[in-house]
Amino acid sequence: MTDPTRGSGVPDRARKRFPGISTRAWEHPADRSALVALRKLSGFDDVLKKLAGLVSERSVRLMFLATAVRASERQFPHIHDMVRDAAYILDLEKVPELYVTQDPRPNAMCIGMETPVLVVTTGLVEMLDEEELRAVVGHEVGHAMSGHAVYRTMLLILTGIAARIAWLPLGNIAITALITALKEWFRKSEISCDRAGLLVGQDLQASMRGLMKLAGGHHLAEMNVDAFIEQAEEYERAGDLRDGVLKLLQLLPQSHPFATVRVARLKKWAESEEYRSIMAGAYPRRADDPDTSVGEQWRATAESYARSVKESKDPLMGLIRDITGGAGDVGGRIRDVFSGSGARGAGTDGSGADGAAEGRGSGSGSGGS
């Protein structure tokens, strides 16, 4: 842990450190399975580094060096200490550089694959308190350690390709399908790194407050975390089948989960046995990463999605449960809902909070990647 006498941003309370921790400890199953598979591909890193050159990764880094302020012991020392502290807690040997850029919009991002760079905006720094900002820094360090810039690079490249071949119907459909899949991975990567931020800050209330501020601004006295979580529950179970379809359509273009959903998901994970085990020192180790089974991770992903559908209160997920369960007259129910008769309550059985509703929240816990 950073020496508490260095800088004003490091609290004197003790926080646990996780020597040798693997990123698998905090990665969502869908995110983890994709990453494990990518890491197993021989030479894939070299290919991605070449692809990164196509989107001018070097020029982006140089631009921040020229136009933003690099955190150090002399500039934004409290944020610099937070990055060092996060790297220490997650046992990351090389501390990433962090830049503060003038932008009133609260945002944070991690760019670069070979040498990750963290960026936060002045809007974010001014909006969050010390512990909220610490969670965001931890979130971005989580991105750096997991290698999530892979997703961003692929999205940028594929989006550029899609724009060029939009006049080819079949080609555009194929690229669009890939972009949709990548965005789903990216949404799950944000859930993953919200967890990394919690492991760094070890303050659930601060993590949730930061996410809530992304939705409602800095007026913390006017907001309440419990009421915000109730919003997430209402969003998930709200309406009928039509609302479920609308939520899905709203979700698909997004690269980030919605803020209320992120808070609810993070709280659920913080109350799980998985989180308690990590805090007790029982977590996956980096040394075991090469032996991780791809098939086992994909099975975990399938189980996670199946559990989401089973536990979800969302009406569309209720219909999917009925279809897979062989319920009769599903077609009649759909017809009734969209014709306006029997619209309320279609397929709203089930319980739990891990629904299918994820979309945009912005950033790192803030608006970048």
Residues labelled as active-site residues: 140
Nearest to 48 by CA among 179, 154, 160, 148: 154
Distance CA 88, CA 79 (A): 14
Q: What order do you get walking across the sheet with 117-121 strand by strand? A: 69-70, 97-101, 117-121, 108-111
b/e sequence 165-176, b meaning 16+ C-beta within 10 Å = eeeeeeebeebe
Cα dihedral 350/354/360/363 (nearest 10):
170
Letter for the amino acid at 242?
R
Nearest to 255 by CA among 140, 158, 172, 358: 358
Cα dihedral 261/227/313/353 (nearest 10):
60
- φ/ψ of residue 250, rounded to 5: -70, -30
